[in-house]
Amino acid sequence: MVLRVEDTDPARSSRELEESILDDLRWLGLFWDEGPDVGGPHAPYRQSERGEIYREHARRLQAADLAYPCYCSPQELEESKQRALAEGRTPLYGGTCRDLSPGEREAREAEGIRPALRFRVPQGEVAFQDLLHGYVRFPPGVLGDFIIVRSDGSAGFNFSVVVDDAAMGITHVIRGEDHLTNTARHILLFDALGYPVPIYLHHSLLLGPDGAKMSKRHGATAVRDYREMGYLPQTITNYLALLSWSPPEGREVLSLDELVRLFDIGDLSASPAVFDMQRLDWLNGRHLRAMPAGELLETARGFAPRWSEHPRFPLMMESVLDNLVTLEELPAYLEPYGQPQVPDEHAAEWLRGEVAARVIEKAAEVLAHSRVENVREADDVIGEIKEFFADKDLKPKEILMPLRVALTGRDKGPALHYLIAVFGGRECIDRLRRALERTEQDLQP
């Protein structure tokens, strides 16, 4: 795989953006054989550094009268485009400068007009075999003469990619079907320059659930956005591979190595792929729960710095893992391990009445003579408390919910045995006694 940086538009290019792209690709676990950071036999790999290569190829086309200078201004071209649209025609270059005489060209250049360079599109059909769409043809007259070198001397997209594909020995080009018309132009340029044409595959475009082209309103659209939201790299590669493709074994949760083994480009569907955030969320949850514990903890620490150095952080992670969709949610799920909040009206109901007071008092008593350093020992504590009230005709909630609210101030959160194990006996007793004081105050007439 060759990584080429197409940065001929200075307004949209910078080294910072380039490094961001390379970093995102590395994060996804994708690596390349040649590129600007690793070198290779076809360097340089930034188009901004390949200007002389483009100029030499442009001179070849112009010398063979396969390209010509165009002096039309952007305003003239826009007016021509709008007229065509108003008349229901496809906007094509009208050929104003196609057959100018040498004298006419000299006169325009004497006026200080810097020309662009246009490719002289030959008459006739353009056709090629696409790996996904089959035989694709463009009848005569659908392609106008197009710019290959801008008036500032920089190479246009259609020209630079053809020169680079030829010079770098690119054999396969896989890209979106919105490039089909560009491919027709590229084939003409390959032929004009005498280079072999690569094999092409144009995959379908991503659509949102509403059937419209994927955009930011359907969800984040940059890899970095998903990364910052707490999606795993293996989730992103897994999910993208499943768009327009189904693994032969029918499985959906696949590692990168498994994708490499199972993927066959011949199995791609030509139908548009729908980007479904709910499916992505489900897949991320599955990958989170499949991660080795050490790797998961290391990744999670960056999303929960407040808790990452806690000696029982692994236990905290274990307690919320089944509920996590993305790691961005982790701080909210771990919040019950912080200082207890003042219970809201609904949670406070579990602390009212004599039953709640007796349960909290008994729990503090059991904890005072118990060792609590892990979940198993916390389960033993809960079991002893429940056994004490076994003949009191109490529902499990009437025993467990007062303890949960007393410890955290919340009626939702990690399972009670995790809370007890993480807090430890002494901290639990302190929290229960403070809650008991409030409960006893409520009981006073």
**Residues making up the chain, counted from first to last:** 445
Shared domain for 222 and 197, answered yes or no, is: no
Do 212 and 198 fall into the same domain?
no
**pLDDT number for residue 444:** 53
- DSSP classification of residue 156: P
442 pLDDT band (50/70/90 cuts)?
low
Domain identity same for 420 and 358:
yes
Q: Which pLDDT belongs to residue 11?
A: 77
CA distances from 309 to 124, 228, 313, 336, 416 (A): 70, 21, 7, 17, 22
CA separation for the pair 319, 404 (Å, rounded): 14
Going by the DSSP 8-state scheme, the letter that residue 307 receives in this structure is T
What is the domain-level CATH number for residue 386?
1.10.10.350
Question: CATH number of the domain that 285 lies in?
Answer: 1.10.1160.10
Are residues 54 and 136 both part of a single domain? yes
Same domain, yes or no, for 192 and 232? no
Predicted TM-score of the model (pTM)? 0.86
Q: What percent of the chain has pLDDT over 90?
A: 84
Same structural domain, 181 and 54: yes
Assess whether 56 and 183 both reside in one domain. Answer: yes
pLDDT the model gives residue 208: 84
Per-residue confidence band for 110, with pLDDT thresholds at 50, 70 and 90? very high
Is the confidence at residue 391, as pLDDT, over 70? yes
Specify whether 91 is located in the same domain as 153.
yes
Judge whether residue 443 has pLDDT over 60: no
132-136 mean pLDDT: 94
- Position 302: which residue type? G
Confidence band (pLDDT; 50, 70, 90) for 220? low
Average pLDDT over residues 60-88: 94
> What range does the domain containing 244 cover?
205-290
Convert 105-152 into a string of H (helix), E (strand) and C (coil): HHHHHHCCCCCEEEECCCCCCEEEEECCCEEEEECCCCCCCCEEECCC
Say whether both 219 and 195 belong to one domain. Answer: no
Query: In the structure, what pLDDT confidence band is assigned to residue 440 with cuts at 50, 70 and 90?
Result: low
Q: Stretch 338-343: mean pLDDT, rounded?
A: 93
Contact 422, 319 (CB under 8 A): yes
Average of per-residue pLDDT values in the chain = 93
Read off the pLDDT of each residue in 305-322 and give the average, rounded to a whole number. Answer: 96
Spatial CA neighbour of 233 closest among 287, 276, 278:
287
| Side chain identity, residue 323 | N
Number of domains in the chain: 3
Question: Which residues touch 61 (CB under 8 Å, ≥6 apart)?
Answer: 67, 117, 119, 148, 192, 193
The 10s digit of each residue's pLDDT in 185-213 is 999 999 999 999 999 999 988 888 888 88
pLDDT score, position 206:
87
Q: Which pLDDT band holds residue 386 (cuts at 50, 70, 90)?
A: very high
The residue with tokens 């991503």 is 206
Lowest-pLDDT choice from 44-58, 98-112, 208-222, 391-405? 208-222
How far is Cα 346 from Cα 64, in angstroms, rounded to an integer?
83
Q: If 0-12 CB within 10 Å is exposed, 13-18 middle and 19+ buried, where does residue 262 land?
A: middle
For residue 378, being part of any structural domain is answered with yes
Identify whether residues 182 and 245 lie together within a single domain. no
Q: Are residues 260 and 169 in the same domain?
A: no
Q: What is the DSSP string of 315-378?
A: HHHHHHGGG-SSGGGHHHHHGGGSSPPPP-HHHHGGG-SHHHHHHHHHHHHHHHT---SSHHHH
Residue 144, domain CATH: 3.40.50.620
Pair 176, 270 in one domain: no
Q: Which token pair is 154?
A: 């920089």
Rounded (5°) CA angle 44-45-46: 100
Q: What is the dihedral of CA 229, 268, 171, 135, to 10 degrees?
A: -130
| Strands of 28-113, DSSP E | 67-70
| Residue 212: per-residue pLDDT | 82
Percent of the chain past pLDDT 70, that is, above it, reads: 98
User: Residue 233: inside a domain, yes or no?
Assistant: yes
C-alpha angle 310-312-313 in degrees, rounded to nearest 5: 65
pLDDT at residue 38, rounded to an integer: 95
Measured in whole angstroms, the distance separating CA 242 from the mean position of its chain's CA atoms is 14
H or E element that contains 444: none
Please report where in the chains the tokens 């992670």 appear, as a residue.
317
Q: Is the pLDDT of residue 338 over 60?
A: yes
Tell me phi and psi for residue 5, to 5 degrees. Answer: -95, 115
**pLDDT tens digits, one per residue of 15-38:** 999 999 999 999 999 999 999 999
